[in-house]
Chains A and B, each alone.
Chain A
C-alpha cells in the first residue's frame, strides 16, 4: 500500500471513529509541484491527503489555532521536532495531538528548481519515484529529485519514533552537514558578512511571511507589532528591519527546529537561516541542547544545569 493510501485510510478512520475532530495535512495544490494545507474534518476530505516531497509548509503552525480540539497532525521530522518544542512550551500536549509519521526523503526546493529551469515556469509537473518531471508548452525536463532538495534537508535530524503516534514509513533524509551553510558564511570576512546581511535585509518588505510561517513564532502579539511602546519602527529603514530580523532570531535561540519554513515563505527571497543555525549551534555546543530532539522538560533559556559546558565563563 502506498504512503498516500495508508495516510488516507488512517486519517479517515480517525475521523470516522471520532478519535479526532480534525486532521491537519496536505493536499495537491493549484500550481505544479505545490501542495496546500488541508484541514480535513470528514473521511471524504481525508481522501485528498498527500504526503510527498512537494509538501513544504510546516503544518505544526496550525496547531496553536485548534488548542481545544483533538487533532491528528500529518508529521514529517520537521513537524515532529516542532511538536517536541510545543509540548515543552505547553502549546500542545501529546494526548491531544496524534502525530501520524509520514516518510520524508527531503523536500523539493522551489528555488532550486527555478534556478535549474533558468526562469522557465513549469505549467505542469509531477514526481515519479526519484524524478521531478516538469514541462511547459514546448519543453519537458526530467530531473533527479536529489539534486533539487531544500538546503535544510541535508543532515536533517530525526526525532525518535516514540515522538509519533504511528509511523507510516521510514524517513531517509539526505546525508550532509547541516552546519555547512553556516561554515560557508563564517569563512567570509566580517565586512563581507555584514554586506551580505545588509543585501538580504534590504530586500525585506516586512510582510512577515517568515514570522507567520514559523511554528515557533506563536506570540499572540509580536514585539514588532507593539505600538505602545514601539520597540521597532515599521518603515523601510534598514536598521529597523535589521532589528526585526535579529530580535526574531534571538527569540528563536534554542527553539528554532530548523524546518526552513521562514525561508520558503519569503516572497522576495530573503534567506537568514544562517542566523538561526548560528544560535542553534551555540545551544548545542554550549549547553548540549538540541531543539526538537531531546525530551528535556524545560526550555533552554529556563534551564540551568551545573554540568553545562560553560567554558566561555572565566
Chain B
C-alpha cells in the first residue's frame, strides 16, 4: 500500500523557501522538477536556479518519461570465450523525488503501474524507479483549456499517486502529505503547521479549478464501445489523422514499446523504445502482412485501448483528461470530440 491511513495536517511553505528546500532535497535524492513553459515545459533534473514551472494545466512532456523513458537499455550482450554473455541493465532504485507534477500525471502513473508491475511479469527497471519515488504534486489551480480530468475520474486537486500535494495560495503553498512516505519526507523538512484559513483557501482554489473544467461525455463509454468494433463510426473518425505519434508519445498513459537490438559483431544492446499504435509499422508482420492496414484500424485501436480494453482489465479508462493530445494534434483532431461522437453511437 502506498497510501497512509491517517490524514496529515498541512504545513505552510513560503514561496521564497522553495529553492532552498529543493536544493536540500537534491542533496539527498535524484530530483526531477517541472520546468519551462509552453511547448518546452518538461521534467528535468534539478539544478540550482532552474526556473520552476508556473503555467496553466500540465507540462507539455509527461512525468511518465522519468519512469518509462523513451529509450532504455534492458541488457547488453557480448561474446566471451565463444559463449554469449548477458549483462542485465542495472536497476536504478535510489531515492527519487519528482516535484511539481499535476494530479493527472500522478494518476497516470497509477494507470501504468498495473501494466509494468504485473505480478507475473514485473518490470524491474520501471518498478525499481517507482519503488522509492516520492511524488510531490502541484494541484491545478488553473486548468488548461483542453483539460477534462473530472470527466474521467480525476480532480484538479486529486491525491491519487501523490505522496505530497501542494496548493498554491497567494503568498505561500499549503503542503499536505497524502501517504506515510510523504508525511515522513515532509516532516524531515520542518515547516510550521498551516492555519485553518489556509485549508479553506486551498479548498477554494480546487473548487475554482473544478468549475473551469469542461465536461466530456466519457461516462459509460466502455459499455458503448463493447461490440462496436465493426461499427461504421470508425470509417470517418480517423480521416483527418496524419498518422504521427504526437498524441501517444505525449500521452501520460500510453505505454506501448518496441524491442530492438543494436550493436555489431560480437556485442550489442537490447533496447526498449517507445512505439505508437498510430504508426503503420506498429503491427507490420515480418511476412509483409499488416493486420491494421489503414488509419481506421489504428485510430480504432488507440480509442479502444484507452476506453474499452484497458477498462475491461483495470476497471477504468486509460485516460486522465490532461488534454495534451487535444492541444498538440497538428490537425486539431480533438479526443473530446471523438468521445462526443462515440456517445451518439447506436448499436
Contact = CB atoms under 8 A, between A and B. Distances in A.
Interface of A: 29-32, 34-37, 39, 57, 61, 111, 114, 119-123, 137, 205-209, 211-213, 225, 227, 230, 233-237, 261, 264-265, 267-269
Of listed B40, B55, B56, B332, residue having the most chain A CB within 10 A: B332
Contacts of B60: 267-268
B262 A209 contact: no
Given A205-B250, A207-B246, A235-B260, 17 more contacts: A30-B337, A31-B326, A31-B327, A36-B333, A36-B334, A37-B331, A120-B56, A137-B212, A205-B249, A208-B245, A209-B244, A234-B260, A235-B273, A265-B246, A267-B39, A267-B246, A267-B249
7 contacts: A30-B332, A39-B239, A121-B57, A122-B145, A213-B244, A265-B244, A268-B61
A108 B115 CA distance: 42
Contacts of A236: 69-71, 273
Of listed B245, B246, B331, residue having the most chain A CB within 10 A: B331
Contact of B242 (A35, A122, A235, A265): A265
Contacts, number: 119
A119 B328 contact: no
Nearest to B236: A39
Nearest to A233: B262
A114 B249 contact: no
A31 B260 contact: no
Majority-rule SS of A interface residues: loop
B146 A207 contact: no
A211 B239 contact: no
B291 interface: no
A30 B332 CA distance: 7
Given A121-B56, A234-B258, A36 B240 contact: yes
A264 B69 CA distance: 25
A225 B284 CA distance: 11
Given A119-B55, A267-B328, A233 B246 contact: no
B71 A207 contact: no
Given A119-B37, A207-B249, A269-B39, A237 B242 contact: no
Contacts of A35: 332
Contact of A212 (B242, B248, B281): B242
Contacts of A36: 240, 331-334
A30 B336 CA distance: 9
Contacts of A267: 39, 60, 246, 249-250, 328, 330
Interface residues of B, number: 47
A36 B338 CA distance: 14
Interface of B: 37-40, 54-57, 60-61, 69-71, 144-146, 212, 239-240, 242-246, 248-250, 258, 260, 262, 271, 273-274, 276, 279-281, 326-328, 330-334, 336-337
B38 A209 contact: no
A207 B245 contact: yes
Contacts of B242: 61, 209, 212-213, 265
Given A36-B331, A234-B273, A30 B326 contact: yes
A123 B271 CA distance: 42
Contacts of B70: 205-206, 235-236
A30 B330 contact: no
Contacts of A225: 279-281
A116 to B, nearest CB: 12
Contacts of A206: 70, 245, 249, 274
Contacts of B260: 227, 230, 233-235
Nearest to A213: B330
B307 to A, nearest CB: 18
A-B residue pairs, 9 tightest by C-beta? A265-B330, A267-B328, A209-B244, A212-B242, A212-B244, A36-B332, A235-B71, A29-B332, A207-B245
A234 B57 CA distance: 30
Contacts of B56: 119-121
A264 B330 contact: yes
A261 B71 CA distance: 27
Contacts of B246: 207, 209, 265, 267
B34 to A, nearest CB: 14
A213 to B, nearest CB: 5
Nearest to B334: A30
Given A35-B332, A236-B70, A265-B330, A207 B144 contact: no
A312 to B, nearest CB: 36
B244 A114 contact: no
Contacts of B273: 234-236
